[in-house]
């Protein structure tokens, strides 16, 4: 792979000291090997002149559904359970191997082009190998897994699994893909949510995740109707139930967590459970606003994610950062969720949620070379004189400012062009795929 020197950038490290300075960063193979002022270019295989640009860690999205990218615009203006039952589940049931592949490629193209270098993904019941192939080919870093569903009303027959079969298929995928490409791809067990999983399945996930030492990624307390179903069927609230069956552990990542009571917040904190916040999705589905400032004050790791394209409708971390900051201010005051806090959630916060804080999330010697170069020389990001760089990134910048993206030391996007996929083929095949699926629903 060789060495790559990035010269003259404003470097936003997101390290513990939150150092920001103008200087250089040296990459060798897949690692950062030097950061400082006036690093020598001698021996570098390539030099990027980044003067006037901002260099920061790649964004880490901690809740995405690549399998749903094809459904963008087809499930608008519905609340969660109707959204699932009337639109999303029937469409997921119609998927084939090719449509999953192009749905993932479409989503990954959007993610990379808006600065995301790592994602936590949840697929659908079938054809998950196709999504992993897309992840492998495009070079993005990902933790992913097939969704698991063996219970629930109004679930289409093709998505209704036998418990043992769901567990067996998950293990097959794990043994095939976990650790792929020196760990760039990792596996997570993905029971959809308590509403669609039997206790037998969830206990199986608990045991297998411990056996294989991998994460568990699920939804919890996103919607009040969902909580009512869980209380009616299991006799207790979501997080209390997950704790009751032994799933509330440091390897558990919960998406949304909007409607938590004090007991549930305490369980999350004491058990080391991680959270992922999806403000765009939570607003569009009318689910509510998660109490993120409170959870951060309790030192709960919280990341950011766009969720799926049909409930957002963009997979853009710039939008999620801006929303995460703005929606809390009318409730908690203008200083709540300041730009620095939000940018940390999008980088180091996401790394902590994934248990990868020693590898990604900040620009430090020894860490993986996952980074983004922003060109902020534009009308909407000026004036720049003595303006806080965190403010410029969170409140002013957009996906259009992403110039270059590097993942695992490889340039996957340069001059705003994604290099690891063919844009025209992906767009054409995405349209062909959704046309085919709609006929099956």
Q: How confident is the model at residue 43 (pLDDT cuts 50, 70, 90)?
A: confident
User: Could you tell me if 38 and 135 lie in one domain?
Assistant: no
Give DSSP secondary structure letters for 361-422: SS--TTSB--EEEE---SGGG---TT--HHHIIIII--GGGEEEEEETTEEEEETTEESSS-
Residue 439 lies in a domain: no
pLDDT at 286 over 90: yes
The per-residue pLDDT for 53 is 98
Q: How confident is the model at residue 42 (pLDDT cuts 50, 70, 90)?
A: confident
The per-residue pLDDT for 398 is 98
User: Could you tell me if 230 and 97 lie in one domain?
Assistant: yes
Query: Which of these, 146, 156, 151, 145, lies nearest to 93 by C-alpha position?
Result: 156
| pLDDT tens, residue by residue, 165-217 | 999 999 999 999 999 999 999 999 999 999 999 999 999 999 999 999 999 99
What's the rounded Cα separation, in Å, for the pair 81 and 36?
Answer: 51
What's the rounded Cα separation, in Å, for the pair 189 and 122?
Answer: 9
Share the mean pLDDT of the chain: 97
Q: Crossing angle of helices 163-177/199-212, nearest 10°?
A: 20
Query: Which of these, 157, 59, 71, lies nearest to 112 by C-alpha position?
Result: 59
What total number of domains does the chain contain?
A: 2
Query: What CATH number is associated with residue 325?
Result: 3.20.20.140
Bridge partners (DSSP) of residue 190 are: 147
Residue-number span of the structural domain to which 393 is assigned: 3-57+362-418
Integer CA distances (angstroms), 23 to 13, 54, 285, 388, in order: 11, 10, 43, 17
Query: What CATH number is associated with residue 9?
Result: 2.30.40.10
Residue 72 lies in a domain: yes
User: Could you tell me if 16 and 95 lie in one domain?
Assistant: no
What's the rounded Cα separation, in Å, for the pair 224 and 229?
Answer: 9
User: Could you tell me if 245 and 372 lie in one domain?
Assistant: no
Compute the Cα dihedral for 240, 241, 242, 245 and give only its sign: positive
Q: Which of 323, 353, 383 is the last residue of a domain?
A: 353
| pLDDT tens, residue by residue, 223-278 | 999 999 999 999 999 999 999 999 999 999 999 999 999 999 999 999 999 999 99
219 labeled binding residue: yes
Residue 429 lies in a domain: no
Residue 306 lies in a domain: yes
pLDDT at 1 over 90: no
Give the pairing type, strands 371-374 and 54-57. antiparallel
What SS3 class is residue 281? helix
| pLDDT tens, residue by residue, 384-421 | 999 999 999 999 999 999 999 999 999 999 999 999 99
User: What pTM, to 2 d.p., does this model score?
Assistant: 0.97
What's the rounded Cα separation, in Å, for the pair 113 and 87?
Answer: 28
- Give the H or E element holding residue 324: helix 317-326
| pLDDT tens, residue by residue, 97-113 | 999 999 999 999 999 99
User: Could you tell me if 390 and 346 lie in one domain?
Assistant: no
Residue 196 lies in a domain: yes
Residue linked to tokens 């999504």: 131
N-term to C-term CA, the chain:
46
Residue 437 lies in a domain: no
Integer CA distances (angstroms), 33 to 4, 14, 25, 360, in order: 10, 17, 8, 14
Structure tokens at 401: 């400012």
Query: Which of these, 3, 103, 133, 119, lies nearest to 58 by C-alpha position?
Result: 119
User: Could you tell me if 149 and 238 lie in one domain?
Assistant: yes
User: Could you tell me if 147 and 177 lie in one domain?
Assistant: yes
What's the rounded Cα separation, in Å, for the pair 111 and 34?
Answer: 27
Q: How confident is the model at residue 348 (pLDDT cuts 50, 70, 90)?
A: very high
Residue 424 lies in a domain: no
Residue 199 lies in a domain: yes
Structure tokens at 420: 């690891």
User: Could you tell me if 292 and 388 lie in one domain?
Assistant: no
What's the rounded Cα separation, in Å, for the pair 410 and 117?
Answer: 11
Give DSSP secondary structure letters for 180-225: HHHHTEEEEEEE--GGG--HHHHHHHHHHHHHHT-EEEEEES--HH
Task: Give the contacts of 378 (CB within 8 A, at least 6 positions apart).
Answer: 400, 401
222 labeled binding residue: yes
Q: Which of 353, 380, 405 is the last residue of a domain?
A: 353
Q: Crossing angle of helices 128-138/163-177, nearest 10°?
A: 20
User: Could you tell me if 252 and 206 lie in one domain?
Assistant: yes
pLDDT at 22 over 80: yes
């Amino acid at each position: 792979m060789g060495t790559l020197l990035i010269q003259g950038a404003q470097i936003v490290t997101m390290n513990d000291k939150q150092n920001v300075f103008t200087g250089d960063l040296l990459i060798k193979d897949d690692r950062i090997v030097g950061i400082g002022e006036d690093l020598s270019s001698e021996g570098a295989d390539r030099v990027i002149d980044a003067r006037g640009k901002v260099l920061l860690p790649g964004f880490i999205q901690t809740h995405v559904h690549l399998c749903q990218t094809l459904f963008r615009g087809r499930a608008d203006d519905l609340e969660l359970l109707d959204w699932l039952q009337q639109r999303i589940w029937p469409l997921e049931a119609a998927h084939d191997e090719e449509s999953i592949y192009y749905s993932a490629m479409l989503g990954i193209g959007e993610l990379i082009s808006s600065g995301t270098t790592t994602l936590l993904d949840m697929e659908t019941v079938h054809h998950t190998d196709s999504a992993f192939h897309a992840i492998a080919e495009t070079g993005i870093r990902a933790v992913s897994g097939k969704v698991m569903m063996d219970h629930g009303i109004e679930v289409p027959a093709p998505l209704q699994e036998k418990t043992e079969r769901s567990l067996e298929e998950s293990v097959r995928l794990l043994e095939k893909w976990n650790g792929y490409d020196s760990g760039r791809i990792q596996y997570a067990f993905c029971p959809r949510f308590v509403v669609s999983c039997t206790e037998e399945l969830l206990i199986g996930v608990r045991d297998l995740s411990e056996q294989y030492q991998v994460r568990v990624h699920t939804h919890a307390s996103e919607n009040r109707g969902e909580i009512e179903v869980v209380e009616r069927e299991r006799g207790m609230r979501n997080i209390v139930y997950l704790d009751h069956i032994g799933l509330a552990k440091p390897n558990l990542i919960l998406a949304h967590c909007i409607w938590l009571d004090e007991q549930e917040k305490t369980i999350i904190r004491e058990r080391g459970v991680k959270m992922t916040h999806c403000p765009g999705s939570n607003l569009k589905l009318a689910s509510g606003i998660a109490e993120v400032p409170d959870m951060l004050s309790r030192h709960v790791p919280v990341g950011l994610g766009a969720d799926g394209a049909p409930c957002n409708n963009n997979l853009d971390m710039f939008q999620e950062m801006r929303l995460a900051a703005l929606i809390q201010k009318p409730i908690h005051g203008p200083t709540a969720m300041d730009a620095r806090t939000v940018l940390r959630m999008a980088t180091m916060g996401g790394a902590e949620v994934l248990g990868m804080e020693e590898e990604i999330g900040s620009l430090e010697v020894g860490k993986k070379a996952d980074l983004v170069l922003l060109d902020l020389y534009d009308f909407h990001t000026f004036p720049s004189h003595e303006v806080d760089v965190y403010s410029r990134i969170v409140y002013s910048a957009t996906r259009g400012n992403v110039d270059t993206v590097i993942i695992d030391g490889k340039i996957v996007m340069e001059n705003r062009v994604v290099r690891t996929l063919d844009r025209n083929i992906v767009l054409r095949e995405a349209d062909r795929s959704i046309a085919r699926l709609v006929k099956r629903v």
